[in-house]
Amino acid sequence: MIELYSCRNCIHDAGQSMHLGPGQGFCIKHSSVISNPSDTTCKYLHRKDLASFVVDEGRSEHAAEFAAFSGLVSLSEKKHLPRVNYSEKYCWERRQFDPIVNSLASYYKSGKSWVFIQSFAGGVDGRRRLVHSCLSRRYMDRCVSWSSSYRMVLSLVQEMQDTPLFSSRVLLMDNGDPEDEVREQARWDVFFTQLSGIQEYGFHSGIEELMWASDSVNGGLSDLDWQALERELSSACPAWIDKIIKHAEENDAFFSQPAEEYDDSF
């Protein structure tokens, strides 16, 4: 249960989750390698599995608990952890290279952040979807706006209609659970990260139906039935897309601003 408050469940460690991304992670917030992501946290924790406004009280309590630390902290020992620079050479020398971590370590070197984020959109690779969802949510949280984020969220919703896939090497098998079971849990990790992003967009845009988007897929969620969820998403996702576009049009924001003008400082 304590791992829910670790980097593995934080959007700033976009390449990992409770069941994805073995090995080291990378925190965009602190620009640091995370040596032990399951036992690392900080006061800026932004949970992947739940929308921020749903866990606002718990988020504040966590921030208060680790307020005295400016950077990463050992979750179990509550000790400061030094910032560790990423080295691609170091990773290759030790045969630990991870292309996702390598990309995330270049986040602030990539120019316009929305271009970097959109490069992870599309396809069925589940880990790339996780990254896209986390970075989109982080962008929304930093700019505290919906008008510059709706295109990212539209991409996020559209890709939810296809089941994410995972290669064996990206699954976290530390607990000795059967691979099929870990793969199933990884699907839920990605889904809840995406769903929380839709809900946070609903919060910023004031679209109540999206704030409580979970109500539209409650049958599959209540029983954690993936097949039932897929059936519900086949009708919910198009409805969410229509809602996002209609709201943007009504507020004169639908493609009214050239992408080149988006703020790229997040």
Q: Specify whether the backbone of 115 is left (phi greater than 0), alpha (psi in -120 to 50) or beta.
A: alpha
Q: What local confidence, expressed as pLDDT, does residue 257 receive? A: 66
Residue written as token pair 């170091």: 90
Q: Is the pTM of this model over 0.75?
A: yes
Residue 102 has pLDDT above 80, yes or no: yes
pLDDT class of 114 with cuts at 50, 70, 90: confident
User: In whole angstroms, what is the distance from residue 113 CA to residue 264 CA?
Assistant: 5
For 171-209, what is each residue's pLDDT tens digit? 999 878 899 999 999 999 999 999 999 999 999 999 999
Residue partners of 66: CB distance under 8 A and separation at least 6 = 41, 42, 43, 73, 78
Residue 75 carries which side chain, given as an amino acid letter?
L
Spell out the domain ranges in the chain. 2-250
How many CB atoms sit inside 10 A of residue 96's CB? 12
Q: What local confidence, expressed as pLDDT, does residue 92 receive? A: 96
Joined together, the tokens standing for residue 180 give 């099929």
Residue 258 has pLDDT above 80, yes or no: no
Residue written as token pair 């390598």: 102
Q: Average per-residue pLDDT in the chain? A: 93
- Report yes or no: 236 and 213 within 8 Å, Cβ to Cβ: yes
User: In whole angstroms, what is the distance from residue 40 CA to residue 78 CA?
Assistant: 9
- Helix axis angle for 126-143 and 179-205, nearest 10°, is 20
Q: What local confidence, expressed as pLDDT, does residue 47 receive? A: 98
3-state secondary structure 170-226: HECCCCCCCHHHHHHHHHHHHHHHHHHHHHHHHHHHCCHHHHCHHHHHHHHHHCCCH
Residue 31 has pLDDT above 90, yes or no: yes
pLDDT class of 166 with cuts at 50, 70, 90: very high
